[in-house]
Chain A
Amino acid sequence: MKKKAFSLLVLLFSVSMILAACSGGSGDGEASNGDDKVIDFMHLWPEGSSAEHNRIVQEIVDDYESENEGVSVNIEVLSNEQYKDKIKVLSTSDELPDVGMTWPAGYLEPYVEAEKFAPLDDTLEGEFGDSFVAGTTSAYEVDGSTYGLPLELNVATVFYNQAIFDEYGLEKPETYEEFQNVVDTLKENDVAPIALGNKDRWTGSMWYMYMADRIGGTDLLTEAINQDTSFEDPALIEAADKTQQLAQSDAFVNGFNGLSDQEAKSMFMNEQAAMYLIATWDLPNYTTNEDVPQEFRDSVGYFKFPTVNGEGDRESFVGGPGVGLFVAENSDVKEESKDFVKFFAEQWGEKSVTEAGVIPATKVDAESLDLPQMYVDVLDDLNNATNLTLFADVQMSPEAAEVHLSQIQALFGGNVTPKEFAEAHQEALSQE
């Protein structure tokens, strides 16, 4: 009798296992109550690493829910890399959240071609569309339709440590010769001139992009990426050559090709390196972030990338919108979702700059807000900017971007000649 009971138990157990295994897939997205419409919203600012972002999102969502009876927003948060992986898997199985975050240009294109994202042209009509800084929404454009509402705008500038500069009597360089002089003086005094974490590779790409911008003019690189002109243009090769010379002259910290951007940043912030080229998403670290010593924050300034060979436009920036909001094409609450992303982008602007220190992609009136001086300066620069070149790895398709990034690492490490560097780019870009 006992044995029978035992085998019955085992049987029950195994059956329940099978059932449990089979029931996993269904049942998500139904956590709503009653007839409420639920917008599933996925974002990538976890409470731990992006506390302010996370709080602002929650505030906006709460406001939206209280203004719109019968619509609720279901939030899911993942960190950056996990987010990218999950979005990809979800889109394969056609289960994208109604609203989520995307990156512009090259990242966006496969999703648009597969008709996963909904065009937002009708949402952008009129006044709302004009509230974005020029050139930010166009980064989300594919074949004339816009598929994302940009939230952030980042431009790269060279941050420097004023205290170290003062110690050796250095000043903000305006030309490449002055810049070279700064680097040489620092080297002579055993101070690492520039922090660079080129394991991440897009960091080195920014140096190359600025060289190309100054030497070849503001449009050349973009034209080469679009294959309106060849990447083997002499100016682009010269830019590669200059970048390589800089890398080979010990201007960057030792072992930069093995360091992550995080490590490079900590070297700059621990005053072990005097300069650091990074985009404006780092501004809070040099202004408002209370975790960083006040003394250090006060000693950081920034300068625009110098002219090279006496040429180049210093008001031309490398940068681009960061993440933006998309609406899924197969969403069953598409209208509500479009309404929500519009509401979100409107609310985000002022809130994000004052509370999280984000430079938003929507225009803000710097004068009327209580902002640290560095923010006012950056917003000013943006108003006077003549050109904004989108980050090269973002502009390119993922395949070409991978070639670009590994070539950047090879260029900095001296594993390829500037000519080979240009050839590899030309080959990858022409295949598209």
Chain B
Amino acid sequence: MNKVMSNKWMIAFYIMPALLMVAFLIFIPLGLSAYYGLMEWDGIGAMEFIGMENYITAIQDAAFWDSALHSFLLAVFSTLSLIVYLAISMILASKIKGADILRKIYLIPMLLSSVAIAQLWIKVFNPANGMLNRALMWLGVENPPAWLANPDIVLYAIFVPILWQYAGFYILIYYAALKNIPESLIEAAKIDGATPIQIAYRIKLPLIKGIVKVTVVLAIVGSLKYFDLIYVMTNGGPNGASEVMASYMYKLAFSTNEFGYGSAIGFLLLIITLIVTVIVRKLTEDKENIQY
């Protein structure tokens, strides 16, 4: 076996299937979308080469930057929500009663498909019959807001199910990481007289720092390219108030038949996400690597 694996040709051969798949499914379409971005194309007829015009239009397109702003807001909120998830995981990991069942409950939203979640929350947010407004009216609120219709609040309303959807995922990751911390370290700290807060902040957090970094990148990248719930629940409306980059791209390519422009936006989305990822990695970089 070792002999086989030391043969360079063999290594190349084994990598081939995965490489081909990644190339065909990801890299080639990526290149194509950058290429389509250079075209004036309705997605049906003939293409016409127009150089960088689509990219220039995109950079001057206020609607695109609005959608980008909304995507970044989502990224900020998802990153902040990680703090809450981390706190929940710490509580769950500290051997409280029913931790196991709670952990499973938190995971449920992850098991639902996005469209099902969207339908569920459309019903929750329904201005007249929704669970939320019924509850508010019962509590005596006279005119509860129309959550998905008011341009000022629709974006924040729709963030709630998006964050809720991924809570279980991050809690699961943090929980697993926290469970990996050797019990002896915690006990040593206790013997030295550390309070639970100190243990959490000085021992547990540094030890799972690597994982936290990964989740921050995941949350930011996931937010920037987010699409599903927005598409189903508001389709970017009303009047673009909940548009994000990915839904704007979809709208251009498939509703308005501006396939070339949509591709350009798609490619910009990739570049923005790449830049942000690099920045985040740089900011969270540190040479110290704690081992246990």
Q: Which residues of A contact B (CB under 8 A)?
A: 3, 6-7, 10-11, 14, 17-18, 21, 84-85, 88, 91-92, 110-111, 113-114, 116, 192, 198-199, 201, 253-260, 263, 267, 272, 397-399, 401-402, 406, 409-410, 413, 415
Contacts and interface: CB of A to CB of B under 8 A. Distances in A.
A422 B268 CA distance: 32
A398 B46 CA distance: 17
23 contacts: A7-B4, A11-B13, A14-B13, A21-B24, A85-B254, A92-B44, A110-B42, A110-B43, A110-B45, A110-B257, A199-B149, A255-B127, A255-B147, A258-B146, A258-B154, A263-B122, A267-B128, A272-B128, A272-B129, A398-B42, A410-B239, A415-B238, A415-B239
Contacts of B140: none
Contacts, number: 118
B62 interface: no
B16 interface: yes
B255 interface: yes
Contacts of B129: 267, 272
Given A7-B1, A258-B150, 6 more contacts: A7-B4, A21-B24, A253-B128, A263-B122, A398-B256, A406-B237
Contact of A14 (B16, B24, B46, B149): B16
Q: Lowest 6 CB-CB distances: which A-B pairs, in order?
A: A255-B146, A258-B148, A258-B149, A255-B127, A114-B45, A255-B149
A92 B43 contact: yes
Contacts of A260: 122
Given A111-B44, A263-B126, A267-B128, A398 B234 contact: no
B239 A3 contact: no
Contacts of A6: 1
A18 B16 contact: yes
Nearest to A81: B254
A263 B122 CA distance: 10
Interface string B126-150: 1111000000000000000011111
Contacts of A92: 43-44
Contacts of B43: 88, 92, 110
A397 B256 CA distance: 8
Interface string B201-235: 00000000000000000000000000000000011
Interface in B142-163: 146-151, 154
B14 interface: yes
A415 B151 contact: yes
A56 B125 CA distance: 38
Nearest to B251: A402
The winner among A11, A17, A257 for most chain B CB atoms within 10 A is A257
The winner among B44, B154, B258 for most chain A CB atoms within 10 A is B44
Contacts of B4: 3, 7
